[in-house]
Amino acid sequence: MKTNYKFANLCGTVYREGNLVFTKDGSTLLSPVGNRVSVFDLVNNQSYTLPCETKQNIAQIALSPNDALLLAIDQSGRAILVNFQRRVLLSEFNFKSPVRHVQFSPDGRFFAVTIGKQVQVWRAPGLNPEFAPFVHYRTYPGHFDDVTSIQWSPDSRYFVSGSKDMTCRLYSLDAIEGFGAVTLTGHKAAIVNAFFSKDQKTIYTISRDANLFAWRCKLKRRRYNSNKKDADTESDEEESDVDVDEEQAAAANAASQDTPTDADAARIADARNWKIAERRMFKQNYARVVCATFQPRNGLLCVGFASGVFGIWEMPDFNNIHTLSISQHRIDTCAVNHTGEWLAFGSAKLGQLLVWEWQSETYVLKQQGHYYDMDALAYAPDGQHIATGGADGKVKLWNSTSGFCFITFADHTAGVTAVEFVKQGQVVVSASLDGTVRAYDMTRYRNFRTFLAPEPKQFTSLACDPSGEIICAGTRDSFEIYVWSMQTGRLLDVLAGHEGPVSALAFSPTDNVLASGSWDRTVRTWDVFGRGRAVEVFQHQAEVLAIAYRPDGRHIAATTLNGEVTFWDAEHGRQLGVMDVRRDIALGRRQTDRRATDNRDADRYFNSICYTADGRSLLGGGNCRFVCLYDVDSRALLRRFELSRNFSYDGIRPMLNSKRMTEAGSTDLVDANATDSDDDEERRESKRRGRGMRTRRDEALPGVQAGDLSLRTVKPEMRTKAVRFSPTGRCWAAAATDGLVIFSLDDLAQFDPLELDMELTPEAVLESLHERAWLRAMAMAIRLNDVELIRRSYEAVPPSDIALVAKSLPIKYLERLLRFIAEELETSRHLHFHLLWSVALLNEHATYLRDHARHQLQPTMRALRKGLSRMHEALAKTCHENTYLIRYLLDERERMERLENDMAGMQLDNPL
């Protein structure tokens, strides 16, 4: 069995904290999720998570203007530089202080970061790995408190910074004679953000108390004489009073507005030229401003408030275009794409991400993860859908290919403890602590059946027989197993015998035998249908936490609280072996632990196990950041998969730093950097939030520096609640603290370097096409994985030679070519050509597809079928519309012929 599974996606979380960034084309959104970055393709409805990680939760991200480099900075100031197109980590760097804002210059040559009371400008690194890619350019002091925002001018020559000292400062990138930093004062609260207008003559500053100031710069303009080509004397008059020739005035205005000269730069830096032209206030019931973004191209200003309301204003007239309340909680960040059509909002408390198109007033994207922990997980029989249940009482269904949640069921009133797919994936069943077991229809997306016990019970485990006719659920309080009929919803039987809470249930894949695990240290097997055989009891040394049947139904694996996994022969009831996993579970040191991890055996166990599709390996997860894969026959550890190395979680570090211990406890439990809670609501929210955030210092009283260090919350601990293998065997998923973590065998790299040689170049592909060597050109283009070369080689094959090339194509290139055809069907108009290729490939390789690659090529075949179906529907619609058009034209032709005949008859009757 293959063990080279790699991180593929993170689905259960869409936003944690930080800022959102759109790509240059405006169709892709980047969102920080913990210590990773997720990418959402809003046009193709796809999402993926970059495999690169930071040390702690990401606080700020920035994307270069050409979408080549991604800079992600965590809460402690450690940064990673990623090649965004290749998804490759290029370099790491430590700014040694928290960074509140980072932004690339519009020309892509520099990026600026705000560190404490200063602004630092660094040269932008290149795409190639370098020994020291980060080169410090210049430091700009001047503020008296932490700098909160920074924005570049469109020409990349200036930038404006906002600070908590209620002032903004205008800086020049390079030193210019006569230039001095301009200080813009007048606000009575901390600055949220400041922006340049398109012509760079206006600066908009927004403070937390919902005030907006528009600062205008009146430059000295040059008067042009219509009888002279050169400029005349300078004048202090405004632009409307200047008497110029039309063409010369247009050229002068364009030069002065778009590309100011060095003399203009000195005048811009003169504080006397900047005046407050307008004072505006956002009237939102005294709600504080949390975030703001500005689109200079369209003059679109978007502001998010602490009340969950956002507004859109058109500048410079300050016309309110729209105001909408999206939730009852604060909006932590907002972003607008390059065209100004889509607005993105993120809420950290809800873990919600929204993309809204304000012109049509519709949602482009609306995603939200579980509010609390994810406790249950199940794969659909086809491996395309994943069902998750959380402590928030919701059941969510995720598409494993796109990574999006497409339906949420919120019928439960308590935490969901187990979910299962039945009826070939057409029904999802969930068990909850609210005393109900609910069945959901995947066709109509509704709760069509609710199973209840005679008395209120708390259900902790769930199992469904292979036929989907019987539903079984175990309880926590009465230690019984309830059996219902799926068709009628009636209670059929109650299985009693356990003396402790029923922690796990599982049906045999081959016969109608139910296995149950309990805290009474036993595993029991039940004949649910016939009651023909006696109940088998398998004794263990500790409480049973989880059980799993091997796919052939012959063996049962059970994990216990003492860190052992016991294997049983289900048919003969004898023990096959015991595997000790305590040494394989690498625990981390928690902030409240008083002893080292080597001396702590309390959490060294698996709380979830599952067999692989072939039954030769076993996957287990517990209260640590690792998931272990074992070989069943040899009882050997094959590999440990690390889910996360985020130090914002507890239990990640192997050792603690004794220097950070104080009389009040560890200083890691107190967030010394997040002290900007200006009102009681933010302070209460900062104390309550546990999604990877530390407690803020309580500085309610003026002048308090240290705060009350006893006010804190424990950081969330990294653990795995459930692990499941996909029925296809190509991937597996884990319900962890991070979310729904998916590992897959599919390699997302653009090409395999081991298959390259010196002769494999784009020029060689073009030369092969010139020599009419279609197969060789196709194989080399696929090995290079250059889409343009593949398309050129693909379209160059004559229709008469398609069958011959498809027959000679190596098997290892089949999947890539089928996936290329599926992608081309979305945009190309050569339908007949694609059909010829599809038929030839499927006919020539039908045996291989049926016998060997049914599961591996299933996503590709599904995409190909989707493309063909879409083209068929579009063609049928076009033909249907053309039918009526042709009928109309024929009727019109007949009418015109009749009209011409009538006119000819009238002329014969009346020749004069």
Handedness of CA 857, 859, 865, 867 (dihedral sign): negative
Phi, psi of 125 (to 5 degrees): -75, 170
Task: Give burial (CB, 10 Å; 0-12/13-18/19+) of 37.
Answer: buried
> Helix axis angle, 858-909 relative to 831-844, nearest 10°?
140
B/e letters for 571-587, b = 16+ CB within 10 Å, e = fewer, are: eeeeeeeebebeebbeb
- How many CB atoms are located within 10 Å of the residue 479 CB? 17
DSSP-derived 3-state class of residue 365: strand
Going from the C-alpha of 900 to that of each of 139, 776, 897, 907, 910, the distances in angstroms are 87, 63, 5, 11, 15
The answer to whether residues 368 and 351 touch, using CB atoms and an 8 Å cutoff, is yes
Residue 858: the pLDDT is 65
Which parts of the chain register pLDDT below 70?
Answer: 1, 178-179, 219-272, 531-534, 663-714, 746-759, 850-859, 908-912
Residue 236: the pLDDT is 41
Going from the C-alpha of 427 to that of each of 381, 385, 688, the distances in angstroms are 11, 12, 37
Task: Give burial (CB, 10 Å; 0-12/13-18/19+) of 443.
Answer: exposed
Residue 727: the pLDDT is 86
Going from the C-alpha of 420 to that of each of 29, 380, 465, 815, 854, the distances in angstroms are 33, 8, 10, 31, 24
- Give the residue carrying structure tokens 């190395």: 645
As a whole number of angstroms, the distance between CA 124 and CA 150 comes to 16
Tokens of 414: 């308590």
As a whole number of angstroms, the distance between CA 733 and CA 621 comes to 11
Tokens of 636: 């050997």
Residue 906: the pLDDT is 76
pLDDT tens for 751-778 read: 444 344 556 788 888 888 888 888 888 8
Handedness of CA 352, 358, 362, 365 (dihedral sign): negative
Q: What is the DSSP string of 65-128?
A: TTS-EEEEEETTSEEEEEETTTTEEEEEEE-SS-EEEEEE-TTSSEEEEEETTEEEEEEPP-SS
- Note the helical H segments in 480-581: none
pLDDT tens for 487-511 read: 999 999 999 989 999 999 999 988 8
pTM for this structure? 0.77
The residues pairing with 525 across neighbouring beta strands, listed in sequence order, are: 515, 536
DSSP-derived 3-state class of residue 472: strand
Instruction: Say whether the peptide bond before residue 133 is cis (omega within 30 degrees of 0).
Output: no
Handedness of CA 784, 790, 793, 798 (dihedral sign): positive
Going from the C-alpha of 705 to that of each of 158, 669, 698, 709, the distances in angstroms are 34, 17, 9, 11
Residue 866: the pLDDT is 77
In terms of DSSP bridges, do strands 158-163 and 147-152 run parallel, antiparallel, or are they unpaired? antiparallel
CA gyration radius, the chain: 33
In terms of DSSP bridges, do strands 58-63 and 69-74 run parallel, antiparallel, or are they unpaired? antiparallel
Domain ranges of the chain: 797-912
- How many CB atoms are located within 10 Å of the residue 851 CB? 8
